[in-house]
Amino acid sequence: MSEHAHCGFCNATAPQNEMFRLIISPPGEEGFERTQTMFCHGACLDQVLHPQMWRHPDLLEESMLVADEIERNEKLAEAAYEAMYEARSHAAKDFFDDARSYFTRAIEIAKHAELDDEVSRLTARVDHIASVYNSQFRGIR
């Protein structure tokens, strides 16, 4: 039987092997002896993490739907791509970089979840956006 622990957010108990482990480091000198370990539910962690906070792919499987996280990154990427069009200046590069990094994140999540069709679709989209950027914006100062 697995040991139980209190969730650091809601204080309910659950088996430790079903909970997330948060390692907290106080400010100051680093070192293992200065860290504190805390257990929590995946659902509780999701409530305190900002929606835009990046999640490790292993965390997603437990706490969020992979498809939602892909969609979220894709929306952010498409918004950055639209902003790139509006910018028409040196700022376009920043928006392009944002779009590319959100797509990269979505692709990583899709790969981790072995969603091959999603990987192909997202890769094709980011390749298209890169070719638009290279042909229309590259070299603009």
Q: Given the rule CB under 5 A, which residues bind Zn ion?
A: 7, 9-10, 41, 44
CB of 12 to Zn ion, least distance (A): 5
CB of 15 to Zn ion, least distance (A): 13
Interatomic CA distance for residues 60 and 94, integer angstroms: 27
CB of 79 to Zn ion, least distance (A): 32
Give whichever of 7 and 92 is closer to Zn ion, judged by the CB atom: 7
Return all residues near 26 (Cβ < 8 A) that are at least 6 apart.
Answer: 34, 36
Give whichever of 63 and 73 is closer to Zn ion, judged by the CB atom: 63
**Is the CB of residue 40 less than 8 Å from the CB of residue 95?**
no
**Is the CB of residue 123 less than 8 Å from the CB of residue 106?**
no
